[in-house]
Amino acid sequence: MNLLPKDPHGCPFLILAPMEGVGDRCFRKAMASIGGFDEAVRDFLRVPKNGHVKSLACEYISDEIAPIPLAAQIMGSNLELMGAMAQEIEKRGALRIDLNCGCPSNTVTGHGAGSSLLKDPQFLNEVAQSVVKSVKIPVTIKMRSGFEDISLFKENILAAQESGVRYITLHPRTKVDGYGPPARWDLIAEAKSILTIPLVGNGDILNVENALEMIKQTKCDALMIGRGSIINPFIFHQIRAHFSGRVFRAEWSDLLRYLEVYLSEIPPDMSNRIRVNKLKQLMGFLFKANAELLEKRNSILTAQHSDPEAYLHFVLPLLQEGFF
Ligand SMILES: Cc1cc2nc3c(=O)[nH]c(=O)nc-3n(C[C@H](O)[C@H](O)[C@H](O)COP(=O)(O)O)c2cc1C
């Protein structure tokens, strides 16, 4: 079965990227209210070096944004526990499990998980195999181009492919790069020319032109978008519309609904201060959407308001004026 089908107009399969912290349940629910993407990946569930995985697996809700499918992502390096976690997640109705080989955080890499797996292709292969062999659902890998440098790039993508994963998503920066230098789309093109399994291109897609350019330059099979979707939640609709020869026009009411859903999903036990900070974080991205908003970004980030309603009262007119 093709896991990455194009739409009837030839638009590649579009995936909302996992983004721990910013891209939480509130964000996914808000994005689902706008739609346009085919699937989302939940941010990683950390599989400990020892202990029980059942309670951790409960954090994954397969129908969270139904009818849009939500894949689970796991991160860890203990072969047995990774397999056990995958089984728990499969029981919870996941359509696929993604293995995180990219997280740059030192607390993660210090335990041999996330991007640390890229230091040892053989071990990466063993971890991936232990997950693949534990479940019936498809397993995929999301990886960076290397740890310190790209010297093991080819070995890593081949080790991933040989483990039996169904496709690879490549974010072409090393761990050391963090999010700094431009994503190396030439490495997506190189991986595409080497691999026989499908490849999802990811990194620095901020608009329709970027999406088209990545497809042209790399020939990747599908696209994953992270930060570009927080800056512009309509990006998936805009890309899709391009392929069917339409222009997608976002409405203010859609953006308002998005913000309403976001706010309504913030857990009720969170204090007003945390709610305001969460909203600020989201607004900090939306106010990168164009030069006009960018000019006002500092003022919306430094504004002091004691509750979300007061903050929105201040920020919404600026957003409406600048976004449309
Ligand atoms: C705040 C943040 C959190 C992230 N968390 C995850 C994660 O949990 N799992 C993962 O595989 N990638 C994670 N990433 C990486 C993104 O999924 C993506 O690969 C990267 O941001 C490049 O794509 P973009 O330019 O479209 O954002 C995260 C990125 C950001 C900015």
Distance of CA 152 to the CA centre of its chain: 24
Residue 112 pLDDT? 83
* pLDDT for 241 beyond 80: yes
What pLDDT band is residue 320 in, cutting at 50, 70 and 90? very high
- pTM exceeds 0.75: yes
157 phi and psi angles, rounded to 5 deg: -70, -35
Of all residues in the chain, the percent with pLDDT exceeding 90 is 93
Identify which of 14, 19, 218 to mutate to test ligand 1's pocket (most ligand atoms within 8 A of the CB).
19
Q: Which two tokens stand for residue 129?
A: 């195999």
Report, as an integer, the average pLDDT of 203-224: 98
Contact in structure between 92 and 60 (CB atoms under 8 Å): yes
Residue 110 pLDDT? 61
Report, as an integer, the average pLDDT of 135-144: 98
Contact in structure between 189 and 203 (CB atoms under 8 Å): no
| Ligand 1 atom 29, closest CA | 19
Q: Enumerate residues lining ligand 1, CB below 6 A.
A: 17-22, 43-44, 73, 100, 102-103, 142, 171, 202-205, 225-228
CA of 19 to the centre of ligand 1 (A): 5
Report, as an integer, the average pLDDT of 173-189: 96
Report, as an integer, the average pLDDT of 5-19: 98
What pLDDT band is residue 50 in, cutting at 50, 70 and 90? confident
Residues 6+ apart with CB under 8 A from 112: 77, 123
pLDDT tens track for 99-134: 999 998 877 666 789 999 999 999 999 999 999 999
How far apart, in Å, are the Cα atoms of 188 and each of 2, 176, 193? 20, 18, 9
* pLDDT for 51 beyond 90: no
Report, as an integer, the average pLDDT of 46-58: 88
Residue 108 pLDDT? 67
Report, as an integer, the average pLDDT of 176-195: 97
Of all residues in the chain, the percent with pLDDT exceeding 70 is 99
